[in-house]
């Protein structure tokens, strides 16, 4: 992503009202995207969906105007999960899909994600092309060539049916009590339908969006409400999505958190046991070492990609594998869908549970996570931590201390002005001390 002005690891993101998250920029971005996506000799269209943030209305209108000025038709989906836009972009044979969302961030942030005509994240070359058009003044096409806008009214129903189609017809959630936490986000009106129509008794929290409460003390980044609801309802498990629905975490019947690393293990182990795990598994630099050790012991190949589901997807495609994911709950299941999908991933975990006859708590016991500590250090401006000599020296010292029994990782967040400092190993106290020492070095580091 070096040299990129606007795109981070997952689109363009920032605080509403601050450049580039402004109506003026979104107008130009819509036009630039239209120029990059449209193909001569055909009628081009782009789908636009959004999460439940109040600012989504403003940016939806600006993008629509920019795309129209470029001569591209617009199909509006309204509030829909990010993976739904990926799916519908494919089924409507659109030139591209746009999602207005800042994922798990608070309501005062927003951003833009793009999908190709195939429903996949854009490659670096296409993002660079959009940025080149952003450096060009808007030139409105002829009055007779302007794009038209229309709304797809049946989008939620189409996506609900797609989610259900990713599990076998004989699969059922009968007799299962599930609590869903929709983060007051984009899954609020579709996720409950999916799980109820598959037979589960569903209790729902975080499904009353008001434009300002997205991810507020609910969802995959705030699991306390879900843990309590699972215990209060005596449910079999809880499922938490993030604001735009591309992540999922779970809570077992005891109220214990089951993160993305454990969910990845559950799916991989069950598929391997059935003989339907094609190839190996892709994690990221942040994936707990316990996952790698458990899978390797089973004879399953494991590879680490850079953080971000797009990089997980790249390695899966390169290896012709199907299963990968991140501890944050981004799962990529290539034989089900083209991008990370929280609802589909949850269904695949539940399918693994259904086939095994075990509970979620029982299935996660096959993998022991090593103690891991991560602290996010907020900085005024993002920078590469390994560009600072004092940080490099501190990391080398930490690695020598931990030896082969642990590892250290520092990385700049691609979506926020944060430096993530992480270490894992055999002893939790040692790991905590190593991370705290590194945090001090990062905080005191200067260019």
- Give the residue numbers annotated as catalytic, written as ranges: 103
Smallest Cα–Cα separation from 415: which of 109, 77, 50?
A: 109
Contacts of 135 (CB under 8 A, 6+ apart): none
- Return the number of other C-beta atoms located less than 10 Å from residue 254's C-beta: 12
Show the tokens assigned to 58.
Answer: 């403003």
- Return the number of other C-beta atoms located less than 10 Å from residue 172's C-beta: 13
Q: How far apart are CA 152 and CA 396, in angstroms?
A: 55
Give Cα 310 to chain centroid, integer Å. Answer: 9
């Amino acid at each position: 992503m070096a040299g990129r002005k606007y795109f981070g690891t997952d689109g363009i993101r920032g605080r509403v009202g601050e450049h580039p998250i402004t109506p003026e920029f979104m107008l130009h971005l819509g036009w630039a995207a239209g120029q990059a996506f449209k193909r001569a000799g055909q009628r081009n269209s782009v789908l636009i969906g959004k999460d439940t943030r109040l600012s989504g209305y403003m940016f939806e209108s600006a993008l629509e105007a920019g795309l129209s000025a470029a001569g591209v038709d617009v199909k509006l989906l309204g509030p829909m999960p990010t993976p739904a836009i990926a799916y519908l972009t494919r089924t409507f044979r659109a030139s591209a899909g746009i999602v207005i969302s800042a994922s798990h961030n608070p309501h005062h942030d927003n951003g833009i994600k793009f999908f190709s005509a195939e429903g996949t994240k854009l490659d670096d070359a296409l993002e660079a092309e959009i940025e080149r058009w952003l450096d060009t003044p808007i030139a409105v096409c002829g009055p007779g060539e302007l794009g038209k806008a229309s709304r797809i009214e049946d989008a939620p129903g189409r996506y609900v049916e797609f989610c259900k189609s990713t599990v076998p017809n004989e699969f059922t959630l009968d007799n299962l009590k599930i609590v869903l936490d929709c983060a007051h986000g984009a899954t609020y009106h579709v996720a409950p339908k999916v799980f109820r129509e598959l037979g589960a008794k569903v209790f729902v929290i975080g499904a009353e969006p008001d434009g300002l409460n997205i991810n507020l003390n609910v969802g995959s980044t705030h699991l306390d409400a879900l843990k309590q609801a699972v215990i209060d309802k005596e449910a079999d498990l809880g499922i938490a999505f993030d604001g735009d629905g591309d992540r999922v975490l779970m809570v077992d019947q005891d109220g214990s958190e089951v993160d993305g690393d454990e969910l990845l293990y559950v799916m991989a182990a069950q598929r391997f046991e059935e003989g339907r795990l094609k190839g190996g598994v892709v994690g990221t630099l942040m994936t707990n070492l316990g996952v790698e050790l458990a899978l390797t012991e089973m004879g399953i190949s494991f590879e680490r990609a850079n953080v971000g589901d797009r990089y997980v997807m790249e390695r899966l495609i390169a290896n012709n594998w199907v299963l990968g994911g991140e501890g944050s709950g981004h799962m990529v299941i290539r034989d089900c869908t083209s991008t990370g999908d929280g609802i589909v991933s949850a269904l695949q975990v539940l399918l693994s549970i259904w086939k095994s006859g075990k509970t979620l708590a029982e299935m996660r016991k096959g993998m022991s996570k090593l103690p891991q500590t991560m602290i996010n250090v907020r900085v005024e401006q993002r920078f590469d931590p390994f560009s600072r000599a004092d940080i490099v020296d501190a990391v080398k010292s930490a690695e020598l201390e931990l030896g082969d029994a642990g590892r250290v990782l520092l990385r700049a967040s691609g979506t926020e002005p944060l430096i993530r400092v992480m270490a894992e190993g055999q002893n939790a106290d040692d790991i905590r001390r190593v991370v705290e020492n590194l945090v001090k070095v990062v905080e005191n580091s200067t260019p």
